[in-house]
Amino acid sequence: MTTIIPLTQRVAWQALEAHYRKVHELHLRQLFADDPTRGERMTTEAIGIYFDYSKHRITDETLTLLLQLVAESGLRSRIDAMFRGDKINVTEKRAVLHVALRTPKGQAIIVDGEDVVPGVHAVLDKMADCSTQVRSGEWKGYTGKRIRNIVNIGIGGSDLGPVMAYEALRHYSQRNLTFRFISNIDGTDFIEATRDLDAEETLFIIASKTFTTLETMTNAHTARDWLLKTLKHPDAVARHFVAVSTNVEEVAKFGIDTANMFEFWDWVGGRYSMDSAIGLSTMIAIGSEAFRAMLDGFHQMDEHFRTAPFDRNLPVLMGLLVLWYNNFFDVQTMAVLPYEHYLKRFSAYLQQLTMESNGKHVTQDGTEVVYQTGPIYWGEPGTNGQHSFYQLIHQGTKLIPCDFIGFTQPLNPLGHHHDLLLANMFAQAEALAFGKTPQEVQAESIPAWLVPHQTFEGNRPSSTILLERLTPAALGKLVALYEHSVFTQGAIWDIDSFDQWGVELGKALAARIIPELETEDKNRLKHDSSTNTLIRHYVKARFQCH
C-alpha cells in the first residue's frame, strides 16, 4: 500500500493555503470582467449532465492546485480499490460495492473469491417477479383481494432512499397503487400511515438487514398486530408481508415466507442501498423496466467517475469545490436547491449520504484530524425556498455555496410555468454571484438611508447542474454524482466514509433507558444529574396519567 502523507503536510495543501490568502477577496464580478469567456470555459458536460462551475470563487490556479491535491491524495488508487472490491471500509473490514448493484450482467466483481454480480441480478429478477405480481393484481391478499397498498417499513437508508425515489419518480408510478412509508418509532407515524388503509389490500415491506433494528422491528410487530386485528389468522402474515433482510431465521419466526425474502449484502451500506432490494417499493411503483433504467443511470455515472480525467470528472470537480470552501473558507453548510418539485425529498436524502459518510473526526488509522471534514447539507426545492431562507444566503453573514439543479424539459407542461421556474433558478444564481452595488441601488432613486438595506454584496458561489428531464436514469445519475463526490472528499480527508459508529452510542444508551421508563424505582438511575432528572420527570408524568 502506498503511504499517503498527512493532508496538511502535502505540497498542494500548503500551496492552497498560500493561494487562498491571495485570492479569497477576489469578487466574481472581477473574475467575470477579466475573462469574458469564463461562463463558457468553466463548464463540463458528460452523460447528459451540464455542469457550470464558473460562479465559484476560483481561478485556473485554484483548479490546478486542487487537482494536484487529488494526485497527492491517491484518489485514483482509492477509486480502483473500490471498483475492485477491496475492503476499503477499514473499521468494519468490508468491501464497498454499491457500484456492483448496477453493474451489467456479464461483468465481474470479485469479493472474497466470489463474483457478486450474478447474485445481484438474481435478486433483481426476484424483485421483478414480485413487482409484476403486485402491479398486475396477481398477488392476492389472504382473503383473495388484490393488493392496492404498499407500506415500506424501514429507517435510515431503508427509508430515506425509497421515500426520495418514490417522490422523485412519482410521475412514472402506477397510480392505482398507494404507497406509504413508516420509519419513526413515534406511534404517530404508523397511525397516520395506516389510518385509511384496508388490511385486506395492504402489503408491508419490512426492510432491515439484521431484522433486529429497534425502530423497524417495533413498527413491524405493530403492523402485524394491525393486520391480524382484521384478518385474525396467523397464516395471513405470509400473504401481507415480505422482507428485505439477510436473517432467514428471524424472518421465518416473524411469519414471513422466506421465499419472499429479498437479500442484500454487507458490502452495501444503508445510505448507498436505494438501488438494492431496499428499492423494492420503488420497483413496484415504477416497474422493473424503469427501475433498470435507473440502475443504468447509476452505472453511467460510475463509469464516468472511474474513467474520466479528473479535470473533467463531474464528481471529482464537485468534491473539490466542497473541499475548497469547507477547508479554506471555513464554510459550514452547503445548500442543495432542486428546481423540480418531484425532488422535494432529495436534500433530505443527501443529508444522510453526505453527513453519515463524512461526519468523522479521525483518519482511517485513528489519528485525530486537524482540519474540518464533512459540512452540513440542507435545502428545499425552488421556488419555495426563495420565500424562506434565500434571504440569509443573499444578505446574511454566512457564506453558503449552493447547488442549483434544473431540467430543460418539464414532466408536466403547463402554460409557461417551466420557463418561470427556470428563470427564477438562473436569476438566483446570477444574483448570488454578482449582487447589487450601492451605486446600482442609488441609480434607482432609492433614499440614501435605504441604500444599505437594498445592497447585495454578491460573491456568493454556486454550481448549476442541468439535465434534460427527470427520468429514472437521470435520478440514478444524480444520486451517483453525489455518492462519488462524497467519496472524493473522504479520500482526500483520509477518513472512512463507509462506517457510522456515531449512531451506535445513542442506541446503546436508549436500550439502557427503556426499562427505566417502565418503573417508578428512582434508585435504579445511574446517569448524569440532568438525564436522571429528565427521566424522573417523564416517569412521574406518565404514571400520574395512568
What does the DSSP assignment read for 495-507? --TT--GGGHHHH
Cell of 177: 397503487
Which domains does the chain possess?
8-84+295-499 (3.40.50.10490), 99-286 (3.40.50.10490), 502-545 (1.10.1390)
What is the residue-wise DSSP string for 287-318? -HHHHHHHHHHHHHHHHHHHHS-GGG-HHHHH
Say what the pLDDT of residue 282 is: 98
Cell of 329: 473558507
Task: State the residue for C-alpha cell 445510505.
Answer: 271
Say what the pLDDT of residue 522 is: 72
DSSP 9: G
pLDDT per position as a tens digit, 187-208: 999 999 999 999 999 999 999 9
Which residues does residue 152 pair with via DSSP β-bridges, in sequence order? 181, 205
Contact 270, 448 (CB under 8 A): no
Alpha carbons 224 and 203: distance in angstroms, whole number:
11
Mean pLDDT calculated for residue range 513-520:
89
517: left (phi over 0), alpha (psi -120 to 50) or beta: alpha
Say what the pLDDT of residue 2 is: 58
Sheet holding 149-153, edge to edge: 178-182, 149-153, 202-207, 241-244, 261-262
Alpha carbons 438 and 461: distance in angstroms, whole number:
20
Q: Which of 188-197, 443-452, 502-511 has the lowest mean pLDDT?
A: 502-511
| Centroid of chain to Cα 15 | 32
Alpha carbons 508 and 511: distance in angstroms, whole number:
5
Cell of 279: 428499492
Give buried/exposed letters for 211-238 (b at 16+ CB in 10 A, else e): bebebbbebbebbbebbbeebeeeebbb
Say what the pLDDT of residue 544 is: 83
Task: State the residue for C-alpha cell 491517491.
Answer: 74
Calculate the alpha carbon distances from 517 to 6, 221, 376, 514 in Å. Answer: 47, 21, 33, 5
Phi, psi of 530 (to 5 degrees): -65, -50
pLDDT per position as a tens digit, 300-357: 999 999 999 999 999 999 999 999 999 999 999 999 999 999 999 999 999 999 999 9
| Centroid of chain to Cα 192 | 25
Residue positions annotated with a catalytic role:
356, 387, 507
Say what the pLDDT of residue 519 is: 82
Alpha carbons 165 and 149: distance in angstroms, whole number:
17
Give me the sign of the Cα torsion angle 395, 397, 400, 401.
Answer: positive
Say what the pLDDT of residue 516 is: 93
Alpha carbons 507 and 452: distance in angstroms, whole number:
50
Say what the pLDDT of residue 518 is: 87
pTM above 0.95, yes or no: yes
Mean pLDDT calculated for residue range 406-422:
98
Alpha carbons 12 and 65: distance in angstroms, whole number:
6
Residues in the chain: 546
* 82 C-beta neighbours (distance < 10 Å), count: 23
C-alpha neighbours within 13 Å on the C-beta side of residue 98: 25
Phi, psi of 248 (to 5 degrees): -60, -45
Q: Which of 279-293, 455-469, 517-531 has the lowest mean pLDDT?
A: 517-531
pLDDT per position as a tens digit, 376-401: 999 999 999 999 999 999 999 999 99
Alpha carbons 484 and 479: distance in angstroms, whole number:
9
Say what the pLDDT of residue 415 is: 98
pLDDT per position as a tens digit, 460-505: 999 999 999 999 999 999 999 999 999 999 999 999 999 999 999 9
Say what the pLDDT of residue 1 is: 46
* 422 C-beta neighbours (distance < 10 Å), count: 18
